[in-house]
Amino acid sequence: MKLSHHILTLFVLALCSIVNVHAQNKTVYQFEIHEEIGPAMSRLTESAIKEAEEKKVDYILIDMNTYGGLVLDGDNIRTALLKTKIPTIVFVRNNAASAGALIAIACDSIYMTPGSTIGAASVVNGEGELMPEKYQSYMRKKMRATAEETGRNPLIAEGMTDENLVIDSIKEKGEIVTFSTKEAIKYGYCNGEVEKPEDILPKLKGGNYKIVKHESSFSEGLILWLVNPAVSGVLLLLIFGGIYFEFKAPGALLPIALSFVAASLYFAPLYLEGLAANWEILIFVAGIILILLEIFVIPGFGVAGISGIVLTISALTLALVRNIDFDFSFVPKGSVSTAFLTVSVAMAIPLVFIIAFGQKLFKSNRFKNMSAMAEMKSSHGYTVRDKAIEKLIGQTGTAITNLRPSGKIEINGELYDSIADGSFIITGAAVKVITVRSTYLVVSAV
């Protein structure tokens, strides 16, 4: 009897120990939304929820203080929160406005500090002006659907967007719903007033919770570093500097390679942040291709080079502007001109540097090692003329292209670069070789 009593006691103690260990391991996974709602916050939320699910935490807690941001990214965050099976909590530190209100309503529980506000979810542009009805309608339905999903009054959620909606004892026509902490508690949009996130833990079922904070990955930190205006400015200098130096010493390759690397580092984080669109990157690539054609293929400096520079500057400028594809509705006034000025200054600095120090730099031993500096003189036996084409003087052929004045002709089944001597020669006309100039045949119409 005593033996069975001891065994039962040990079993109960072991069971209590297991339960206690489990209780001590209850975890609340916390991350912050303290910035404008945009691609960075959308990516952070996705990463945090994924890690929380992998760790099998008990709750996800968002520490929020935001005036809102992009509707698209707010909706992405809202969707991610509604999809996760882990209970979600938002701690409104001060503000949950606009897209921030949409995200807060998507959480299972809302706690607010004294003096905080939630609401004012109308869609506005960069100047704070209300956007057209199609934008408002979209946001209204998102707010309503979210409130229905999390068990809150959907009419109030619509009232945070629709100024024409009338809600008895809550809002009149022409107003937008924005709740203080106490009002939010009264109307079911806040579960309680707390001073800090830790004050929420005793209110959770089961007790003995601990907070584990999300730590940004190396890639997230690198992206934030690259989008820093100072770093972006240096990358712009390297982009234009590389292009300038390649113009000065065609074939050096190192400057244009450095420019390509700098462009990749410039566009990559902006693309991930939602600033640089696919078509803007394609414009930049097209501009660089035209510049390279001007350097290595087309003699002189003309339409290709100018067009390449225009496309390159345009792409770099637009990448700094928060447009949505070809929609510039949300772009604040002056943003485009500010971005253009930033790019123009970055373009001018290498030019000033080359004018001021170019001669000394290009004559330095280090630069000479990067490019072919030897002078090929005719007295040393160098020539650009092919002796064989001199035998074509006096022969006749056919213009394969229009010569205005340059083009191509055919003689005995071979094609030659030619220049018309005098008037324009049309395709198909018979021509005669008068002389040879460098590597070109000078021809006249027969």
Q: Residue 54's domain is classified under what CATH number? A: 3.90.226.10
User: Is 403 found in the same domain as 341?
Assistant: no
Helix (H, G, I), strand (E, B) or coil at 50: helix
pLDDT at 135: 82
8 A C-beta contact, residue 400 and residue 389: no
Q: What are the structure tokens assigned to 365, written together?
A: 């031993």
| Residue 13 forms part of a structural domain | no
pLDDT at 21: 43
pLDDT at 55: 92
User: Is 418 found in the same domain as 359?
Assistant: no
Report the candidate in 96, 373, 133 with the shortest Cα–Cα distance to residue 250: 373
Domain boundary among the residues 368, 403, 430 is at 368
324, β-bridge pairs: 327
pLDDT at 183: 96
Low-confidence ranges of the chain (pLDDT < 50): 1, 17-23, 372-373, 381-382, 384
Query: Which amino acid would we find at residue 149?
Result: E
410, β-bridge pairs: 398, 415
Report the candidate in 226, 232, 236, 230 with the shortest Cα–Cα distance to residue 345: 236
29, β-bridge pairs: 60, 212
User: Is 407 found in the same domain as 360?
Assistant: no
| Residue 363 forms part of a structural domain | yes
| Residue 3 forms part of a structural domain | no
Query: Which amino acid would we find at residue 153?
Result: N
| Residue 6 forms part of a structural domain | no
User: Is 397 found in the same domain as 336?
Assistant: no
Q: What's the pTM value of the predicted model, to 2 decimals?
A: 0.61
User: Is 168 found in the same domain as 146?
Assistant: yes
User: Is 53 found in the same domain as 131?
Assistant: yes
Report the candidate in 152, 83, 73 with the shortest Cα–Cα distance to residue 324: 73
Domain count, the chain: 3
User: Is 305 found in the same domain as 387?
Assistant: no
d(CA 341, CA 402): 43
| Residue 12 forms part of a structural domain | no
For 214, residues 6+ apart whose C-beta sits below 8 A from its C-beta are 29, 30, 31, 32, 44, 47, 48, 51
One DSSP character per residue, 274-306 reads T-S-HHHHHHHHHHHHHHHHHHHTSSSS-HHHH
| Residue 2 forms part of a structural domain | no
One DSSP character per residue, 149-188 reads HTTS-HHHHHHTT-TT--BTTTB-TT---EEEHHHHHHTT
User: Is 167 found in the same domain as 109?
Assistant: yes
CA 115 to chain centroid: 35
User: Is 82 found in the same domain as 211?
Assistant: yes
Domain boundary among the residues 157, 180, 215 is at 215
pLDDT at 218: 74
Q: What are the structure tokens assigned to 393, written together?
A: 């003087």
Helix (H, G, I), strand (E, B) or coil at 99: helix
pLDDT at 19: 46
CATH number at residue 433: 2.40.50.140
Domain boundary among the residues 344, 368, 392 is at 368
Which residue stretches of 56-110 are H helix?
Answer: 71-83, 99-105
| Residue 58 forms part of a structural domain | yes
pLDDT at 23: 47
User: Is 407 found in the same domain as 309?
Assistant: no
Structural domain range at position 430: 379-445
CA distances to 218, 238, 311 from 306, in Å: 40, 20, 9
Q: What is the 3-state secondary structure (H, E, C) of 357-413?
A: HHHHHHCCHHHHCCCCCCCCCHHHCCCCCCHHHHHHCCCEEEECCCECCEEEEEECC
pLDDT at 387: 66
pLDDT at 330: 61
Omega before residue 405 within 30° of 0, cis:
yes
User: Is 345 found in the same domain as 278?
Assistant: yes
pLDDT at 109: 97
pLDDT in tens, 270-299: 777 666 778 888 888 888 888 777 766 665
| Residue 14 forms part of a structural domain | no
User: Is 188 found in the same domain as 301?
Assistant: no
